[in-house]
Amino acid sequence: MESVPRIVVGIDFGTTYTAAAWADASNSSQIEIIRNWPTAGNIVGSQVPSEIAYDQRDRTVFSWGHNIKPKSHKDVLELPLGLNSAEVISDYLSAIYKHVMVTLNRRIDKMLMQQAVVTFALTVPAIWSDAARKKTQEAAVKAGMGKQTSPQIYSEPECGAIHALKDLDDIKSLRPNDRILVCDAGGGTVDIITYKILERSPLNVVECTVGTGDYCGSTFIDREFEKLFMRRMGSHYTALSPLHRQQSIKNFEATKMAFRDEPDQEVFYVNLPTVGDIEDIGIYSGNLQITREEMRDLFDPTINRVVDLISAQVMAASHVDLILLIGGFGESEYLYQRILAWATRALIRVLQPREASTAIVRGAVIKGLEAAGTSKTQITRRARRWYGVTTNEMFVQGKHLAEDRYYNTDTKQILAKNQIRWFIEKNNNLTFTLEFQGRQYGSANVEFD
């Protein structure tokens, strides 16, 4: 056992839901998913809504997750007066942090907790910019997650892939040189990345091509349902309170995840609070009737975009042996059916693991445990963008713009300003430490692991 107890907490902070898990480094194979989220009566599971509601009179008082009072919900999401988005995120993460620490203190001996070093590992969509990742890390520190060690930030599909390749028996048949495409389908974003396996133990993989992604998660299906809901309700829609409109959309969640597009079920229902029978628009005993064809129409615009992302990634990666479908949206039956239909024609297997929605947070814990350990997964990444520095260089007529020309009185030279020196090109492998310095463009040290 380690002399100082070390706990790693993974946080999958998503657009619609957040998940948390933890493990003791002395028993790293036992990852516990936090499920005891505070609730005002809702059924809770492995995820908590990424929602926060502030008291109108005191902005330091707020409710969050399942515990938000119904009257706190509004049609329009507005930032509270005096707060910016980073501060709101920090407030939400502070609530997550406090609940996690309460949970840990219930699970772990008091003496051990007093000695323990707790490290947080957060995941973000792979398509986020470096600036967005940095802001998330800063918000986590402000929320209390950096009291002992700096919180780590990892990409969601990478964490999902690590969990799958290390822990899932279903894909242990994969061998060196096999390629696995990870489709991380969440509420807001879908991230796609393909890895080539170099070694299974210790795990060593390389990105086959630059990862891609888009804002085409399950919330876009919710928006299509809201349009259908408004269209079908007509003048009855205005009679519903904002709370009941929002609750109706939330009730669509269960129908959405269960939709299979099978001929044995031609009709689906969504409960509408406070609505009775309006048979002429297809509402019976407060349940909105939706046909199988209408359900396809709600799903297909979004799922077509997901399939297009997968198709483009497979072409860029040359070939793929297995598609791994993870994330909250990754548990959708219809999404699995559509991807399977496409993949079967391309002779690619598709795996939808059990509890796909927690694959990412489990992977975050594994990454966090590896960060300070001796056994690390080796991942060769590819640059998703160009990196360079602005500099000045000798002016060349015809090469540089006339407005960039200037005379440097120190060097007695005619130079061109506003030039860029590229050090990393998009799609380059990132397996090195880059060092550069110079009088004209300063110095920097950029590390890639």
pLDDT in tens, 53-64: 888 788 788 889
pTM over 0.75: yes
CB atoms within 10 A of CB 153: 19
| Amino acid letter for position 379 | I
CA contacts within 13 A on the Cβ side of 186 = 33
Is the distance from CB of 271 to CB of 283 less than 8 angstroms? no
Most confident of 2-16, 232-246, 283-297: 283-297
CB atoms within 10 A of CB 38: 14
Q: What is the model's pLDDT at position 375?
A: 64
Mean pLDDT of the chain: 85
Per DSSP, which regions of 226-296 are E strands?
A: 267-271, 283-284, 287-291
Is the distance from CB of 113 to CB of 105 less than 8 angstroms? yes
Q: Match 């091509």 to its residue by tokens.
A: 209
User: pLDDT at residue 341 above 70?
Assistant: yes
Cα distances (Å, whole numbers) of residue 379 to 14, 101, 430, 431, 436: 24, 31, 9, 8, 24
Q: Could you report the per-residue pLDDT of 65-113, keeping only the tens digit for each?
A: 888 876 555 544 677 777 888 899 999 999 999 999 999 999 888 888 8
User: Which pLDDT band holds residue 444 (cuts at 50, 70, 90)?
Assistant: very low
User: pLDDT at residue 114 above 90?
Assistant: no
Q: Could you report the per-residue pLDDT of 138-158, keeping only the tens digit for each?
A: 999 999 999 889 999 998 988
Closest CA to 168 of 153, 186, 180: 180
User: pLDDT at residue 120 above 90?
Assistant: yes
CB atoms within 10 A of CB 238: 9
Spatial distance between the Cα atoms of 123 and 101, rounded to a whole number of angstroms: 19
User: Which pLDDT band holds residue 445 (cuts at 50, 70, 90)?
Assistant: very low
User: Which pLDDT band holds residue 448 (cuts at 50, 70, 90)?
Assistant: very low
Main-chain dihedrals φ then ψ at residue 111, nearest 5 degrees: -65, -40
CB contact burial 311-342 (16+ within 10 A = b; e otherwise): eebbeebeebbbbbbbbbbbbbebbbbbbbeb
Q: Match 């323990």 to its residue by tokens.
A: 116
Q: Match 């000045």 to its residue by tokens.
A: 392
Supply the Cα-derived Rg of the chain in whole angstroms: 25
Is the distance from CB of 387 to CB of 412 less than 8 angstroms? no
Is the distance from CB of 185 to CB of 306 less than 8 angstroms? yes
Spatial distance between the Cα atoms of 121 and 9, rounded to a whole number of angstroms: 6
Q: Which two tokens stand for residue 203?
A: 């795990």
Q: What is the model's pLDDT at position 45?
A: 79
Picking from 10-14, 83-87, 118-122, 331-335, which range would have the lowest pLDDT averaged per residue? 83-87
Q: Match 């070093």 to its residue by tokens.
A: 117
